[in-house]
Structure 1
């Protein structure tokens, strides 16, 4: 059977949405709304391009390439192995999963604990034991994720967000104010950069393998059908994300006039729900953050375990789930602040390469899939993205500050374009030169 019912396609799409939608996706849109004010639609358009458009493209190109490693192999095999490992390790047990778990503790549990207790290590440890115990149980049966996510956890997350949004309509927070800083000067670009920081494009490179696994469990075995349904699931998940981001950013924009500027989106949402629902609002918000982080962590554990069980088949999927869950729990207890210090420069180095790979794969036919285009553009991107990440950890590289778009955090963009053009030019010259050569068999006539 290579047909999927509309109901099952919707459930797979909701599962994919829930894997994308972590605590970071809850935090960024309210801040964007708060800072952009009357420029909300402009900023949101940029945000949606990078926070929804790029992840959907990533799901599509990985599905068509039949896996991230096959896609990255268009550069070369050593790069594919190293890059894929870095992606899975960074978004998985070393950074992505521990960060989501720690963040869920900070937003779901810590606000309800006495101040004297929150500074200690024991509450976080006990929480991570429970959190990762539940994550482990959910990850052990990936074929059941559609039912557990699509039918239970995702609807719960959506209902909680809708409750908050409807509450803001019944009891209006205020009108939108004037945009602030970069949101006034270049709102679309600033919105793009905010969406870029959700890191969902990297997650999308991982999640494609989970969607394919789930579809296979439902009887979809044909490669073309797998690719088609994966892309459709990505589009539907993207539509749901767009609606949620619109609601959350509107909440942030309306809250600015009532509460002023806050440090982060978690504080904005806390003030909004406290105003709308009193202490019950904190419970609603805590459940929303907790479920969002849980579904993301399960998606990451599942995708990482599936990948490592493929490249090292002697170690079973269940052993990998156990290993990744335990190591993630260990790193989560380092604390959110320390995890963020590590994650920002690491992801800053990897993320631009992921974006370039996604865009090149999407435009593959436009440049005839020349290998040199992939190689040159990736080389130029890697040099500047890694240099920029070293800058962030204190190894100052002076020439970067004079590069275009350096202040906007996009120092790699122009080098990537230059690498693409050089790769294209090199391939064309090589192709023309080769066509002028007399084939060897001509001499044998």
Structure 2
């Protein structure tokens, strides 16, 4: 492999890391570490499955299917994939993920350094930068991968290494069983939104690889997969490190502790007087890179959906305005209202990704994949009803008896049943 190829892998891999590593990725790991204390290693494993391994499979599923999410969606049904694509884009775009980046930047990056700053001013500056850089979409990957991400990684690695060498408190209390700690990490990994984002980000990275001269499918696949592995390794170290920092923080756990407050406590304690500045810069970089990537993705997706009736620039500005309005509600409120949505859509996307990865080459027809998604959607739908306190008790009792319910993957067996039943129907018709 030539130096040129390695440079391209580094650029694309760091860009992909930065796209994934946004607000939730920085705030969630220390908080779950604080909760599980000495069971931090088990919760890290659970978190890494939903926040690293499954997103990597999401990228792999796109690489195997084509160049973007449309190619993956065509493996099931164009109309179904269109609806799923719109839901995903709204979730990782102006309704949840992008507003959360701005809210986190204000609470952790701006407010500690400039007390009394209005969230409106912070939001306006944040989205002015986001919109400005997003309008030059062709240069986004290079700007993120070559300049912004290396600085972000240096800052985070410094914080984690200091915390490992000189932990704040090693007297960790046993609060969770190993099983419960694993489940908590697994479920909290949903809040990163990275599985949803992976099927969109893959298209951006594939397009960037194509512009760098990797025009054949084989070349493109190798460079994108190598970039994905690099991004996954960076995430692996940082997630594990942040969970450990939370577990050894010595911070008093309480129901009203805020994720942003815990992160500030860690940075100030470990890095001293420069802690607030370091974490402010890290937050700004992490949130900006993710916000830019997501805004570009939203603009590109809906421009194509409307067949150019809504232009890319108009959509970028519209996305920024909506995100700005929602971001003012604050990080905790955004995470709270996002939970039911994620509990519904996440299992559906995971099902699509897993079944395409496992059976995509040996099952060419569409119906079995629709059956798997149908089985998952039923369970997710009743879970959504329950989250709004309108669940049906009899059905809920039945769902609670399903295998793996305690691991929050009660949808797994119904998806398998749906896949097999539709496969048999398909063979019978054939």
TM-score > 0.5 by shorter chain: yes
Per-residue displacement from partner, 1:352-403 (whole Å, max 9, x unpaired)? 1100001011012475244222111111211221221222123233222442
Q: How many angstroms apart in 2 are the aligned matches of 1:188 and 1:429?
A: 42
Conserved 8 A contact 1:377-1:415 = yes
Gaps of 5+ in 2: none
Instruction: Tell me the residue number matched to 1:321.
Output: 316
Among 224, 233, 254, which residue is 1:239 paired with? Answer: 233
The 3 A distance-change label for structure 1 pair 189 and 422 is farther
Instruction: Tell me the residue number matched to 2:419.
Output: 420
Residue 201 of structure 1 deviates from its aligned partner by 0.3
Aligned residues: 421
Q: How many angstroms apart in 2 are the aligned matches of 1:354 and 1:208?
A: 14
Instruction: Tell me the residue number matched to 1:441.
Output: none
Conserved 8 A contact 1:18-1:296 = yes
Instruction: Tell me the residue number matched to 2:12.
Output: 12
Residue 260 of structure 1 deviates from its aligned partner by 3.5
Instruction: Tell me the residue number matched to 2:296.
Output: 302
Bigger mean CA offset, 156-165 vs 312-321:
312-321
Conserved 8 A contact 1:16-1:233 = yes
Q: How many angstroms apart in 2 are the aligned matches of 1:287 and 1:345?
A: 31
Instruction: Tell me the residue number matched to 2:137.
Output: 142
The 3 A distance-change label for structure 1 pair 34 and 95 is closer
The 3 A distance-change label for structure 1 pair 190 and 422 is farther
Instruction: Give yes or no for the alignment of 1:400 onto 2:400.
Output: no
Bigger mean CA offset, 85-94 vs 265-274:
265-274
Conserved 8 A contact 2:351-2:415 = yes
Per-residue displacement from partner, 1:301-340 (whole Å, max 9, x unpaired)? 1112122233334243333322222232233234445534
Residue 28 of structure 1 deviates from its aligned partner by 2.1
Gaps of 5+ in 1: 435-445
Q: Superposed, which structure 2 residues align to 1:176-187 within 5 Å?
A: 177-181=172-176, 183-187=177-181
Conserved 8 A contact 1:301-1:321 = yes
Q: Superposed, which structure 2 residues align to 1:148-297 within 5 Å?
A: 148-169=143-164, 171-175=166-170, 177-181=172-176, 183-255=177-249, 258-261=250-253, 263-297=257-291
Residue 252 of structure 1 deviates from its aligned partner by 1.7
Q: How many angstroms apart in 1 are the aligned matches of 2:274 and 2:233?
A: 29
The 3 A distance-change label for structure 1 pair 154 and 401 is farther
The 3 A distance-change label for structure 1 pair 207 and 365 is closer
Residue 408 of structure 1 deviates from its aligned partner by 4.5
Residue 150 of structure 1 deviates from its aligned partner by 1.7
TM-score (ref. length: structure 2): 0.90
Residue 11 of structure 1 deviates from its aligned partner by 0.9
Over aligned residue pairs, what C-alpha RMSD do you find? Answer: 2.5
Bigger mean CA offset, 65-74 vs 355-364:
65-74
Q: How many angstroms apart in 1 are the aligned matches of 2:28 and 2:331?
A: 17
Residue 289 of structure 1 deviates from its aligned partner by 1.6
Instruction: Tell me the residue number matched to 2:306.
Output: 312
The 3 A distance-change label for structure 1 pair 24 and 401 is farther
Instruction: Give yes or no for the alignment of 1:352 onto 2:347.
Output: yes
Q: How many angstroms apart in 1 are the aligned matches of 2:378 and 2:95?
A: 23
Conserved 8 A contact 1:35-1:179 = no
Conserved 8 A contact 1:206-1:304 = no
TM-score (ref. length: structure 1): 0.87
Instruction: Tell me the residue number matched to 1:86.
Output: 87
Give the secondary structure class of the aligned counterpart of 2:39. Answer: helix
Residue 71 of structure 1 deviates from its aligned partner by 1.2
Give the secondary structure class of the aligned counterpart of 2:95. Answer: coil
Give the secondary structure class of the aligned counterpart of 1:357. Answer: helix
Structure with max Cα Rg: 1
Instruction: Tell me the residue number matched to 1:47.
Output: 47
Q: How many angstroms apart in 2 are the aligned matches of 1:157 and 1:253?
A: 23
Per-residue displacement from partner, 1:284-314 (whole Å, max 9, x unpaired)? 2222222111111111011121222333342
Give the secondary structure class of the aligned counterpart of 1:396. Answer: coil
Instruction: Tell me the residue number matched to 2:334.
Output: 339
